[in-house]
Structures are given as structure tokens and as C-alpha cells.
Amino acid sequence: MSDGGVSSLSSLPGAAASASAVGLYARATPGFEERVAASVAQLREAAERFGAGLIQSSSLGAEDMVITDLIARHGLAIDIATLDTDALHAETLALLPQIEARYGLSVQVFRPVAEQVVHFVKTHGERAMYESLALRKACCGVRKLEPLGRMLAGRTAWITGLRREQSQNRAEVPAEELDGQGRVKLNVLADWSWADVWHYIATHQVPYNALHDQFMPSIGCAPCTRAISVGEDFRSGRWWWESEDAKECGLHQARSNEELKSGATA
């Protein structure tokens, strides 16, 4: 564990011995079963409380694959959706048919408006995200925020895989919060550790992104994700050219419905 409670490769036994994410990260820790039970209880209560107004917003990352497994394993009537930004790795998109085959669940896919993507790239170029923080956030706005607005339209609550351990910016993530648009956001793994996530994956043989085996613990769009090195923090491979306090895309920042519809990131 590195300073601030953020996972790093150097903190894990066997880091040099195995390139498997399960081998690197999975280990049983005290209270694991209790944390799993609490997450299941929160999901079950949410399904009863919000009914058809509830959706899991999945990044297809390790945490969200755990949540999907919990939903399927316990037969919970919760819709699942994801954002295909048109800039994801093939390994990320490969999880969609795996989820359907493994669980018999269909994942709703929300994509950016094609004309907006074309206009952004034509105006700012393919490498705009590297040019300035404003342009990178504008790219996230087009590819993520606007589709998220459509995903959440008509919903009263959504489920995320945010954990307090993920970064300094997320250190105070609560189990439940309001998202700024009148919806409840449920962070059902808020108090799980990275070791918990992978212990669950190993125990239940949950499908996961093959890029996790290539030292990519946090995976986003392909241009904005790289492998991390020994000693680097969990999210160092995301927007690595930016300062630590800028490393969010806006999906988990409270903002108005109008901002979501427009894809605004400011």
C-alpha cells in the first residue's frame, strides 16, 4: 500500500513473479466475507427501493465485473449498461459477449453522437487530449458525458464501482450519495480493497479485461491508458501526463442535467 492508501504494484507479494492480475493482486483479507455480504445487501435493497429506475453503469473494469457477477449470482433485477466511447481497447469490448455468455445478461451500450466525434476530431485532431486539460476534458465530454446523460435518462439511481482506495480524489467516497441531478448514486464497493476485488474474481472466476494482466489496473480509452510500473499508484496509467488532481473525466462529478446533455466538463 502506497501513501494515501492507493494500491501500487510494489506493495504486493509476488509482483515480479507473475504477470497475472489474479496472481499479483488477489488475497484474502480480514472482513472480506462481511464486505461481500454488505454489498449484496445494498444491491438487494436498491433493487427493491428503485425498481426499474435503477441501473448499473459499468466501465467493464474489474470492480464493475464484480458487481455484475453479484447482480447475476443473486438474481437481482438490475439493468446493466456501459459506455462505448469509440476509443476503447478491443480487450474491453470483448467483455460484452463474455457477460452475455456467462450470465445470460444483455448489456445496454451507449455511444457518443457520431457527428460530434467527427467534428471534435476534425477541429482539434486525433491527439487533442494531449494538447491541454481543457481539450482532454472536452473529448471526455463528447465521448462519455453526453452518452452518460442518455444512459441515466429516466433513471432514479445508478450503481458504480468507485472505491475509496482508488485515488486521493476518491478517498471519501460514500456508499450512497446524490449525483447532482436528483439521482442516488450507489458505490457498493466503496470500502473494498483492490485485494478484495481480485480475491472475489479469483474465487468466482469472474471474467475480466485481459489488459489487467498487462499491468493496467485502471483502464479507460486507449489513448489515455498505459501500463504502470512497479511503485506507481493505481491510477498512474490514466492521463499520466496530467497532474494528480486533474485525473477525472467528469463522470463522477456532480453536475446538472443540462451539463450532461451538452457533454460539458467545466
pLDDT in tens, 58-68: 999 999 999 99
Burial class (CB in 10 A: 0-12, 13-18, 19+), 143: buried
Residue showing cell 441501473: 55
- Catalytically annotated residues: 249
Low-confidence ranges of the chain (pLDDT < 50): 1-18, 247, 249-250, 252, 255-257, 259-262, 264-266
Burial class (CB in 10 A: 0-12, 13-18, 19+), 190: buried
Helical segments of 141-177, H only: 146-152
Radius of gyration of the chain (CA): 18
CA distance 19 to 231: 15
CA distance 121 to 126: 6
Q: Residue 4: what pLDDT?
A: 35
Q: Residue 232: what pLDDT?
A: 85
In this structure, are residues 193 and 29 in contact, taking their beta carbons and an 8 Å threshold? yes
Q: Residue 244: what pLDDT?
A: 66
Q: Residue 97: what pLDDT?
A: 98
User: Pairing relation of β-strands 54-58 and 108-110?
Assistant: unpaired
Fill in the amino acid letter for 141: G
Q: Residue 230: what pLDDT?
A: 81
- Residues β-bridged to residue 192: none
Q: Residue 246: what pLDDT?
A: 54
Order the strands of the 176-178 sheet from edge to edge.
108-110, 79-83, 54-58, 157-160, 184-187, 176-178
| Model pLDDT for residues 110-132, shown as the tens digit of each residue | 999 999 999 999 999 999 999 99
What Cα–Cα distance (Å) separates residue 147 from each residue in 64, 143, 150, 160?
Answer: 18, 7, 5, 16
pTM for the full predicted model: 0.85
Q: Residue 251: what pLDDT?
A: 57
Ranges of beta strands (E only) in the chain are 54-58, 79-83, 108-110, 157-160, 176-178, 184-187
Q: Residue 245: what pLDDT?
A: 61
- Residues β-bridged to residue 55: 79, 158
The separation between CA 199 and the C-alpha centre of its own chain, rounded to angstroms, equals: 18
Question: Is the dihedral angle over the CA atoms 130, 226, 27, 230 positive or is it negative?
Answer: negative
